[in-house]
Every structure is written in structure tokens, then in C-alpha cells.
Amino acid sequence: MTIPYRLAIILSIFYCASENVAAQSNAAKPKPLVKDIYTADPSAHVFNGKIYIYPSHDVESNVPQDDEGGHFNMRDYHIFSMDDINGPAKDNGVALDVKDIPWAGRQLWAPDAAFKNGTYYLYFPVKDKKDVFRIGVATSKSPTGPFKSEANPIPGSYSIDPAVFTDKDGKTYMYFGGIWGGQLQRWHTGKYDASLKTDLGKGRENEPALTAKVARMKDNMLVFDESPKNVVILDENGKPLLAKDTDRRFFEGAWMHRFGDKYYFSYSTGDTHLLAYAVSSSPYGPFTYKGVIMKPVTGWTTHHSIIEFKGKWYIFYHDVELSGKTHLRNIKVRELAREKDGSIKTINP
């Protein structure tokens, strides 16, 4: 059947418009920042006007997948730098290797970094020689390293995912913890209990959920200045979130940023695959749950960081676009939008 000339023109215009919309959509979709190695858990910071990213370095070690994360068997860190948010991410090489950490055993998981007193500090979780996660610290005069590890883990540290935040008054706090493979549940009595594999255990779903921990750092940035405290997240009625509230409770991947006079504690809900956030007037909390930052990405895990750069806010995160495998991830970045009241607009990745 012959299409009338005018109709053909209209269909041609519609087709071209559709192609343009699709092209714009694809162009707007963030692509992996790094493609030659696998990277995850990106902790981003602005130092000296540049962006530095401190991610995990995923590798294929052929370890079977399990709830304790044995297949995440990372061994070193690469640090990336960006002059511009739309520019390339430069690989500055290996900054720290597990073999150079005197007390380490295996599994060099998600790190973070800080700068104070002319020194850069790299904080990292790794299992010790007894297979217990501790948090260590290494130092360098350069934001890209190489970093030299302290001889022992931070006294009183445990679990995973250190996130270090320095407030406007110069005080620095470390937020940390992760359940399941992160072992936080094994410390809920104050002593290590290897029998707890995931959450608190069956029959305790109506108890308050396990919380992340926070401790102020000493000025030397090498040790805690106090015993770690609970990072309590409250619901809209001022009650602590319960263990069964898996869409809102803390699982792992803590991050802290300040917007105006409010402190934004953001985190992963783990097995429900959301990035969520809660707000407080104090870096210690308690924090009131506010909503979802990002809906599930491809892959099991989700982990992020949030920074301000040249007047705009950005979220760094990961998915599995390159590999399709949950333990071989790639980092991405996109702009973070807020409502006028400071609340964060939910992202559909």
C-alpha cells in the first residue's frame, strides 16, 4: 500500500524526533567512568579543586557467591582523579596492596579518604589473620598515594565501610558498619560472636534494627577519640526502625554530607537494593528517615558517595553494566537534584 506523501512526511518527522529523543536519553544515561578494570564502592572527595575517587578494585577470583560476600575477594586499591565532572577518570595506579598491610588477611573492601594536617589518610576494611573485619588506616603526602599502612588496625574498630566526614568546625567523624558479610551483627553485644551470619536472628524481626556506628577521630586521624556510638534512624513517628523494615533499615555503605545546617546520613538497604537517607541536626543523630535516593541498580550491591563540586551536587555509585556479574562492578556519576526544602529527588538509574 502506498503511503500518502503528506502522511509520509509526518511519519518521517515523528521518526526523526523519536530518534533524537532516544539519542538524548542514551547520551544522558551515565556510562562507566572506568572500563579497563572493575571498580565499585566509589568514595569521592574534592581536594585542591580536583575530584579524587577511592573505589574498591573488583577482581575475578573464582570464589563461589555466598551471603558473607566471599566472592568479593579484592586485593588492592587504585585511585582515580578527575579535573572536571565530565572529563576522564585518570588511573593513578596501585595505591595500597593487601600484602603491604602487616596485619591483613584477605578481602580489601570499600575504602574512604580524608585530608588533614598536610597528610592524606586512606581508611580501609580488611579481614585480619583470624578472618575478622577491622578498619585500618594508611597515610601519604599525595591524594593518589602510594599509602603506607599503620602496623595495626584502629583500636576498637570492626566491621566494614568506613566513611569519614569533617565538619565545618574541623572535627572529624568516622561512620562504619555493615551487616551480613560485614559482620556488624556479630558485635551487637560488644563481643564478637561468629555464630550470627546475617541479621540478629529469627524471632527478632520486631526489635530495633542494627545500626551503623560513629566515632569522632582524634586530631592525628589515626585513632578514635571516643567509643563508637549507635547511628539511630527513626521513623516518621520518632521510633527506631525495626529489623523487619528492610526497605528502610541500615545495611551497609554509610555516607555523610552536610547541606545547610542539616546532616544527611545516607546508606544502602542491602538485600532490598535501595540507597536511602535520613536527616539530623547533629552528626551523631538521631536521624529521621526521609526517603530513597536511588532505586535498585543492576547487580546485587549498591554503594555510593555524595559531593559538591563547582556549585553542583553529584552522586557516585556503581552497577554491573560492563560485566553483568554482581562481583565485577563499574563506577558511575550523575547529578543529584534536590527540592527547595533540601529533600533529595529519587533517581531511577
- Catalytic residue numbers? 41, 252
- Return d(Cα 176, Cα 98) in angstroms, integer: 20
CB hemisphere CA count around 33 (13 angstroms): 30
Beta bridge partners of 294: 275, 347
Based on the number of CB atoms within 10 Å of its own CB, is 141 exposed (0-12), middle (13-18) or buried (19 or more)? exposed
Paired strand residues for 335: 314
The residues with which 94 forms a beta bridge, in sequence order, are 78
60 touches 77 (CB < 8 A): no
Q: How far is CA 78 from CA 147, 151, 174, in A?
A: 11, 21, 22
Query: Where do we find the cell 524471632?
Result: 203
- For residue 221, how many other CB atoms are within 10 A of its CB? 20
DSSP letter, residue 270:
G
Q: How far apart are the C-alpha atoms of 16 and 30, rounded to whole Å?
A: 23
Q: Taking a C-beta distance cutoff of 8 angstroms, is the pair 174, 156 a contact?
A: no
Q: Grid coordinates 570499600 are at which residue?
A: 110
Amino acid identity at 149 = S
Of residues 233, 195, 200, the one with CA closest to residue 214: 233
